[in-house]
Chain A
Amino acid sequence: MTEVLTEFPALEDPKTGDPLMNRTVLIANTSNMPVAAREASVYTGMTIAEYYRDMGYNVSLMADSTSRWAEAMREISSRLEEMPGEEGYPAYLAGRLSEFYERACRAEALCGKEGSISVIGAVSPPGGDISEPVSQNTLRIVRVFWALDTKLRERRHFPAIDWLTSYSLYNKQLAQWYTDEVAADFPALREWAMLTLQRESELQEIVQLVGSDALPDEQKATLEVSKMIREIFLQQNAYHPVDTYSPMSRQYVMLKLIKQYADLSAKAVQAGVPLDKFESIPARQRFIRAKLETNIDDELKAVGEDMDAQFRALGV
């Protein structure tokens, strides 16, 4: 908690450069404070959020973590000697969770302005097993799920969001926005990237059985492309001044470049260029490192040109 309290005021809004604290309210209940206050704290937060919503603000509320909130409910419930439900949680757990999440909304306030509340709730299930009641009851209500994965954490892939288990049910609604605001082909690119990652997980299963050497070149190339998606696009270093914030426009350029590489490498495979020839082109190295450079956008541009030239040199 102290970390949050000291680091938040120091954070800078990447869009305006102002301190982030200027538009933040923190509600702190550390684990050694009274348990009843912990149960109440999410409601305190939500009420404050609604107050701002009614003034026409768009509020995002982060609750970390709802598991501890549920833990508090369980503790109070057991003190009250209520009949325990699943895993000792009170029987009204599901009800309380949905009452809380359903307060997220977009609404027209009495003042005539439009305001909204977006809720991001952290759930920390014991041992990462999401079959327990808090996770399950939460998943029944929410429409977006970011699954943090211990395997990814172990290899320091951050943010450790598992791309295959996570989902958003808002993709369709947002497609138009992407087309208007980012690029017409962004939704298609996104779909292609997801497909490649999905394909990677299937191929990995085969690799686990027979080894990667046994795969045909075309599939090996797919594995390389998905690795690029993971390392360049999905992985970000929160402590790196450049890498920590990637605007949509840059995300688009990155995906587009990876797609460019994928297309070129597919052509190269067809033309019979050996795998290690085009996998070791300098443009690829430059691409991977571009994230850590301050002039990243220029770098990315140069990578695109380099890539074309270097593939051409290989006869593709």
Chain B
Amino acid sequence: MAEVKVSKEYKTISEIAGPLIFVEKTEPVSYDELVSVKLSDGSMKRGKVLDSSDKVVIVQVFEGTTGIDRSASVRFLGETMKMPVSRDMLGRILSGAGDPIDGGPPINPEQRIDITGAAINPWARDSPHDFIQTGISTIDGMNTLVRGQKLPIFSGSGLPHNDLALQIARQAKVRGEHEEFAVVFVAMGITNEEKQTFMKEFERTGALKNAVVFLNLADDPATERIVTPRLGLTTAEYMAFELGMQVLVIMTDMTNYCEALRQVGAAREEVPGRRGYPGYMYTDLAQLYERAGRIKDKKGSITQIPILSMPGDDITHPIPDLSGYITEGQIVMSRDLHRAGIYPPVNVSSSLSRLMGGGTGEGRTRADHKGVSDQLYAAYAEGKDLRGLVAIVGKESLSEKDRKLLDFADMFEDRIVRQGADEDRSIEDTLAIAWDILGSLDIDQITRIDRKYIDKYLKKA
């Protein structure tokens, strides 16, 4: 054991407000320092220092302040929050505060790591360009995911984003390589039912043995939610950069995380920013998202898929807006496609993967990939525009070419977008379908693809 630091116990709580307690007349304590609170009935709670001044120290209590009274004693532990990590964490289920809740033994740490992490020097980062095949056409073909990328799913309540995330976790692989693969699953404020779905799915597919699961459910304290993703990412960093694993981090739901930030901000009486969210939310989110990536000379990588449900499907809401600034693209879910019974309901037009250029093409996917994907985008967009027109003037008044585009849009949704929840398409499968439906267009409507690929792959109907 490390040396035990002797520290004073303070019984000087002057105020309790929401998730915060105010402690008076302390010796100097440091920012973010870990705190333990002993209640009068002997039970313990943990928290961290949010604000430190010469008179009052503000402590945020992870488990909530219910039951704390002014006679409770507060001890400052002299260190910031650390996460015990070990290879044996794979297959374990932990609470939002990092304690095992699967009935198993406590984690025997190989290392204890600060949960805030350190910003990676941009120069030390390696640029992500290894194609991850998710087996989902709308992602592989149209919005390619690469190792080390952070690609959020922008969704709404009632849309099957969790199914999509699960399918990605299940099917994602880097082709031709057999490397250790791990999933860190961070649940923030999700419902018990969602949790059950995830757990059942992890067990069914055997993914649990390669996963570390952090669960902060909807009825767990909101303040704990602020720590949960940091614990998850610390674990991921350990596995990726110390153990050399390829780690996929799924964080759901970021909206709940931001709600928790707002709650704490309000309790501290901070000046609220947009829609009441704290002004530092951008920095705070960046501290999470920027922990994805690859580092030069290290084998492992962290790929992040944060899921966030946009309140009122509003993409300009501060949460998706700020996330979009930081992440490298987004997968947007569409309510219209979902209503039309199409799974996965990915709105291809507004989705984007900024790192697609580096992860596709000769030697990564296939030389014709980029052109094909541009062509699909262009033709689908034109076909969708025509739908609006057809509603007004009818299909008859369209030209022959326009009619082809209109049919193309339907085919695109039916064959590229729609696929089974267990259907794992290789990139070749996806491109084959793409060429197949491109065959329905006139040759002069295909303007984005190099001649040589058209000659090679296009089969005319």
Contacts and interface: CB of A to CB of B under 8 A. Distances in A.
Interface residues of A, number: 53
A124 interface: yes
A30 B123 CA distance: 11
B420 interface: no
Interface stretch (A91-99, A202-210, A253-261, A304-312): A202-210
B280 A126 contact: no
A2 B122 contact: yes
Interface in B333-381: 349-350, 352, 354-355, 357-358, 361, 370, 373-374, 377-378, 381
B280 A2 contact: no
A216 to B, nearest CB: 14
B301 to A, nearest CB: 12
Contacts of B394: 211
A285 interface: yes
Given A2-B128, A78-B271, A285-B444, A32 B392 contact: no
Contacts of B283: 31-32, 35, 75
A2 B125 contact: yes
Interface string B380-404: 0110000011001110011100100
B397 A156 contact: no
B274 A155 contact: no
A77 B272 CA distance: 11
A16 interface: no
A293 to B, nearest CB: 8
Interface in A72-102: 74-75, 77-79, 81, 84, 87-88
A144 interface: no
A214 B127 CA distance: 52
A1 B122 contact: yes
Contact of B287 (A32, A84, A210, A231): A32
A169 B393 CA distance: 40
B279 A211 contact: no
B293 to A, nearest CB: 7
A74 B318 CA distance: 14
B271 A81 contact: yes
B350 A124 contact: no
B399 A153 contact: no
Contact of B282 (A71, A127, A154): A71
Contacts of A148: none
Given A78-B271, A79-B280, A211-B398, A157 B393 contact: no
B392 A209 contact: yes
Interface stretch (B175-183, B220-228, B429-437, B447-455): B447-455
B326 interface: yes
Nearest to A35: B283
A309 B205 CA distance: 66
A127 B350 CA distance: 11
B377 A156 contact: yes
B316 interface: yes
Contact of A292 (B274, B393, B444, B451): B451
B163 interface: no
B289 interface: yes
Nearest to B295: A2
A124 B326 CA distance: 12
A7 B286 contact: no
B290 A208 contact: no
B448 A156 contact: yes
8 contacts: A6-B126, A7-B127, A33-B119, A75-B279, A79-B279, A126-B316, A151-B381, A209-B392
Interface of A: 1-3, 5-7, 28, 30-33, 35, 65, 67-68, 71, 74-75, 77-79, 81, 84, 87-88, 124, 126-127, 129, 150-151, 153-157, 207-214, 231, 237, 239, 280, 284-285, 288-289, 292
